Amino acid sequence: QSALTQPASVSGSPGQSITISCTGTSSDVGGYNYVSWYQHHPGKAPKLMIYEVSNRPSGVPDRFSGSKSGYTASLTISGLQAEDEADYYCSSHSSSSTLVVFGGGTKLTVL
Amino acid sequence: EVLLLESGGGLVQPGGSLRLSCAASGFTFSSYAMSWVRQAPGKGLEWVSVISGGGGTTYYADSVKGRFTSSRDNSKTTLFLQMNSLRVEDTAVYYCAKVIRSNNYYGLDVWGQGTTVTVSS
């Protein structure tokens, strides 16, 4: 069981917007602004899409945005494109014995 | 170009040891913490460890604490993961990754392609 809770799957049509949630506790998501989001196409290296809740690394389209409210962080993808179909993982700093925790991952399907 | 290249994966029996390497290039290696992340077959990403830029500070996931040791040779811009007392559940693709900011351990902006570790008798 992963420390952070994500929906197993989400889907959307091209051009639409979707949001993936990532729920933790006061020991991780709720207590710190060190939430990251990764895109992972099977067989390839994961790619950082968002760091520190809402910052986009250079080269990541502004269609990708991050936010946080309470114990839940969210990744929103607007103007969905076929190439966005992938697995998405959130991670956070944790004050528990494990410094960094990941969510279980969300499979995004572009219909 | 910033690159990370892992090596050292392979097949090992339960209880055995393996040492992974990650050769880095294209950035000031000693200025950044480096992490290991793994993905078991059919499972999600799991954070394994992080080591500070100078190598003096390390953190580990509970699942590997006491069995795995992360180290680095900044003169050779290489990261290592020494894995001892390996278990079947350590079977995974292991990625090394660089943190995006030089002053913390969070947000992994550059990843290697991964090396596969299989623990089986």
Sites in chain A below the pLDDT cut of 70: 1
- The pLDDT score that the predictor gives to residue B71 is 98
Using an 8 Å Cβ cutoff, are B1 and B26 in contact?
yes
Alpha carbon distance B45, A16 (integer Å)? 27
Q: Helices in chain B by DSSP H: which ranges?
A: none
Query: At residue B103, does pLDDT exceed 90?
Result: no
Using an 8 Å Cβ cutoff, are A14 and A77 in contact?
no
Token reading at B11: 């097949």
3-state class of B19 per DSSP? strand
Using an 8 Å Cβ cutoff, are A22 and A72 in contact?
yes
Token reading at A24: 């933790």
Interface test with B, best of A98, A101, A107 (most B CBs within 10 A): A98
What is the least distance, in Å, from the CA of B83 to any CA of chain A? 18
Q: For the residues B49-59, what does the mean pLDDT come to?
A: 96
Chain B contact present for A7, CB below 8 A: no
- The pLDDT score that the predictor gives to residue A3 is 84
Q: Looking at this protein, which amino acid is placed at residue B74?
A: N
